[in-house]
Structure 1
Amino acid sequence: MLAGLAAIDSRIKTRTGHLWEEVFTNAAQHNSLTTVAIGPTWRGNLVAANAWSSSHGLSHIGDGQHVGFINDFYDDEGWWASAWIAVYDLNHDSKYLDQAVTIFNDLDAAWNSTPVGGLWWNKKHEYVNAITNELYFSIAAHLDNRCPNDRERYINSAQAAWRWLFSSGIFTSQRNVKDGLAVGSNPGATEIVWSYNQGVVLSALTELSAATFQDLYIGIAKLIADAALANLTSADVNEDAVATLRDPCEAEMWCGIDGATFKGVFARNLAHLHSVSPEDKYAEFLRNNADALWTRSRDQYNRLGLVWGGPFTEPAGASMQCSGMDLFVGALSQLGEWNSDTESAKSGIGKRSFNARTGRLTREFFGLW
C-alpha cells in the first residue's frame, strides 16, 4: 500500500525511503517464526469456517526452518515478491528485484507438482487454491517486464499459469474466481468467492498484455473485473444505494486478520488495470467506495472499518486500515489529485499519454506504461 502511495506522490516517496531497507532487513529475520493470531473465531457456518482455516491463515505457523522470505506457504512468499517488485519500481535498486526472483524460483520449483497441475497452497500439500497460483502468474508476468535477460523463462511461466487458471475449473460460470479446488488433505470450502481472488489476476493479465503486446488479456481482465463489480457488491447498507464491495465473512462482522485486507487487494489491482485501459465504471467504483468508506465507516480517530458502506464497527486493526488505504490510493491514482505537486508534475507521474501501440490514452500512475 505504501509503495503504491509513494508511486503517485513524491512527498510520500521521500518520507518512506528509509522504510524499504528496514523491512527488507528486519522482516527476513522473523518471517519463518511467525504464528498468525486470529482473535475471536469467525462465526460462519461450518463449511465456510473450515475453508477459512484451511486457506486463509489460521494455520500459517512457521517451523523456523526457513530463512529470508521463504517459508512454508507459497502464498506468503508470493505476497513478499509482489511487495519487493513494487519497491523496485520505486527506487530501481536491483536487490529488491533479485529478492523477488529468489522467491519466484522457490515457487517455480514446485510448479505443476499437484495432481491437477499448478501450485500447492503450502509445502504440506494441503490445498490447491486460487490465490497462490494467481500470485505465481502475476510475479512471472511482472518479472518478464523487468528482467530483459530472462524474458523467455518468465513469459513461458506466465502463459502456463494463465492456461492452468483458465482450464482448471477455478472460474465459476459467472466469471468469478472461486477460492480453490477440492484437492489435498484439507481443501475446505472451495466454492467461496473472495474479492482478492478477483483482484490479483487483473494486474497479472495486465502485465501479460504488456509483455506479449496482446490486448486480448486486457479484455479478459475486464470481464473478470466486471463480474466482480456485478456479483461482489451490495448497496443494502447504504442510505444512498452506493454499491460497495463486500466479502462473505462480513455478514458475521469478522473476517480474521488477513481476510480484512482482501478488498484492498482488489481495489489496488483494479486501479492497475484502470491505469492501463481506463473505464469510467472503474473510476466511479473506486471513487464511490472511497467516499462511502470515508463518510460512513470511519470513526472520530480516523480509523477505518471492515464494511466500506458502513457503519463503522470494532475491531479496526491494521488490516482494515491497510485495506481501506489501498482503496484510497486506488481512487487517488485515477483522480490525479497529486498533480499540483511540482516535483510529481516534472516527473510525469499521473499524466495522461498516448500509447501508440494500443491507440489509447493511458495514465502513467505506476511508472510502467
Structure 2
Amino acid sequence: MTFWGSQGFAHVAHTQGQAPIPVPSWSPGHRGSSPSSKALPNGSSLRRRDGLDYTQTAKAAIDTMNKFYNETQGRGGSFRADLTDDTGWWALALLRMFNLTGNQTYLNIFILDQAYMYSYRTGAKCGGGMYVDIRDKTYKNAIASELYMLLTASLHNRIPGDVAYLAKAKATWEWFKSSGMINDQLGEPQLYRATNDTSYLDQARKIADAVMANKLRPDSDQVLTDPCEPSDTCNSDQHIFKGIFARDLAELSNSLEGDPYRAYLEQNARAAVEQDRNATGFYDVVWRGPFWNSTLGKQASAVGLLVALI
C-alpha cells in the first residue's frame, strides 16, 4: 500500500475559447468555494459594489462541472468522481454554497457525496482510511481523509443531537493521526467546534507551525514558499495548495485566542499584491515575485490567500 498525492486531471477549456489547458478536475471545486468561504449570513459578501452577483457565477460553475461529472465519470453524477478527494473538494464547495444560499439541493448533494466517500473506506488495507483511486484501489492519501473528517464534523455541527457523523469524524482523525501522513490542519477546527476539545486545536497548531517551519520553508521575509518554486517545477496541484493552506490557516487562527497567524497571512498577501501581480491583476505562484505567468491554479491560490483575510 502506498500513500501519495492525487494526480487526477481534466481538460477544462479556457473561458475565451482558447485551447484546453490541463487543471486538476477538483480545482474548480476549490475555486468555487473560495469566494463563498467567508460569506456573511445574508450572502452580501458575494455581491460586488458594482452590482455583479458572484453567487450566480458560483452557481454556474457548479452546474457546469456537475454536468461534466455526470457525462464523464460514470458514477451516478452529483460530483461522485473516480477519485474520492475530487468528490470531497466539491462537497466542501457545495456546503459553503448551502451556507450562503440556504438552497437544500446543495446540502442534499453534500450529504450524498460524503456517503459516497465513506463507501470506499476500509480497514482491510492500512488499517483504515479510504481509497482515493476508486477504479484500481491502490492508494490512500492525506487529503481524502482530511476532507472526510472536515465534511463529517461540519455535518455534525449542523445536526442537533447527532452522534453518527461525529463518530465518523473522530474515527477518521484517530486513524489519520496514527498514519504518519498528517500535513495540514484541515478539519481540526471543525472537530474542536463539535467537541469543545482543545486538543484538536493544539494538534492543528503543531501541524501549521511544522509546515511553516519545515515543509514549505518560509525564509526570513516570512513568505510561504514551496520547494518547487525556485526551479519552476510546481505542478497544477501545487499551484493551488498554497491558497488552500492559507485559507485553512486563517480558519485555525480565527479559532485561537489572539488570531496568532493573521500577521503571517497579511505579510504573504502584501507580498503577493506588491510583488507577484501583473498590470491586469493576475498572480503567479511565487508570492514574493517576480511575476512570470499565471494559470487557473495560480490565480485560485491567490484568491484563497486574499479571501483568508476577509
Q: Deviations over 1:40-94 (max 9, x none)?
A: xxxxxxxxxxxxxxxxxxxxxx554542210110000000111111111212222
Q: Identify the match of residue 222 of structure 1 among 183, 205, 229.
A: 205
Q: Deviations over 1:153-192 (max 9, x none)?
A: 1100000000001111224xxxxx2xxxxxxxxxxxxxxx
- C-alpha displacement at 1:285, in angstroms? 0.8
Where does 1:1-369 land on structure 2 (aligned, <5 Å)? 1-7=34-40, 10-13=44-47, 15-31=53-69, 33=71, 63-116=73-126, 117-123=128-134, 124-148=136-160, 151-171=162-182, 177=183, 198-200=184-186, 204-234=187-217, 241-279=220-258, 281-314=260-293, 316-331=294-309, 333=310
- C-alpha displacement at 1:264, in angstroms? 0.4
Moved over 6 A (4+): none
Q: Aligned partners of 1:259 and 1:310: how far apart in 2? A: 17
Q: Give me the TM-score of the superposition, normalised by structure 1.
A: 0.68
Instruction: Assess if the C-alpha contact under 8 Å between 1:233 and 1:244 holds in 2.
Output: no
Change (3 A) 1:216 1:324: same
What is the number of equivalent residue pairs in this alignment?
A: 270
Change (3 A) 1:252 1:66: farther
Higher helix share: 1
Instruction: Assess if the C-alpha contact under 8 Å between 2:253 and 2:260 holds in 1.
Output: no
Q: Aligned partners of 1:7 and 1:313: how far apart in 2? A: 35
Instruction: Assess if the C-alpha contact under 8 Å between 2:216 and 2:227 holds in 1.
Output: no
Unaligned runs of 5+ in 2: 1-33
Change (3 A) 1:279 1:255: farther
Change (3 A) 1:199 1:154: same
Q: Aligned partners of 2:263 and 2:93: how far apart in 1? A: 27
Structure with larger Rg: 1
Q: Aligned partners of 2:124 and 2:233: how far apart in 1? A: 32
Q: Aligned partners of 1:234 and 1:321: how far apart in 2? A: 22
- C-alpha displacement at 1:113, in angstroms? 4.8
Q: Aligned partners of 2:76 and 2:228: how far apart in 1? A: 32
Instruction: Assess if the C-alpha contact under 8 Å between 2:69 and 2:78 holds in 1.
Output: yes
Change (3 A) 1:109 1:281: same
Change (3 A) 1:113 1:216: closer
Q: Aligned partners of 1:263 and 1:143: how far apart in 2? A: 26
Q: Aligned partners of 1:199 and 1:221: how far apart in 2? A: 5
Change (3 A) 1:105 1:65: closer
- Letter in structure 2 aligned against 1:217: Y
Q: Aligned partners of 2:47 and 2:92: how far apart in 1? A: 18
RMSD: 2.1
Correspondence for 2:25: none
Instruction: Assess if the C-alpha contact under 8 Å between 1:6 and 1:16 holds in 2.
Output: no
- Letter in structure 2 aligned against 1:10: S
Instruction: Assess if the C-alpha contact under 8 Å between 2:185 and 2:252 holds in 1.
Output: no
Instruction: Assess if the C-alpha contact under 8 Å between 2:88 and 2:147 holds in 1.
Output: yes
Change (3 A) 1:104 1:284: same
Q: Deviations over 1:281-313 (max 9, x none)?
A: 401110000001111111122110111111111
Q: Aligned partners of 1:4 and 1:13: how far apart in 2? A: 14
- C-alpha displacement at 1:232, in angstroms? 3.6
- C-alpha displacement at 1:103, in angstroms? 0.1
Change (3 A) 1:243 1:109: same
Q: Aligned partners of 2:75 and 2:157: how far apart in 1? A: 32
Correspondence for 2:30: none
- Letter in structure 2 aligned against 1:126: T
Q: Give me the TM-score of the superposition, normalised by structure 2.
A: 0.80
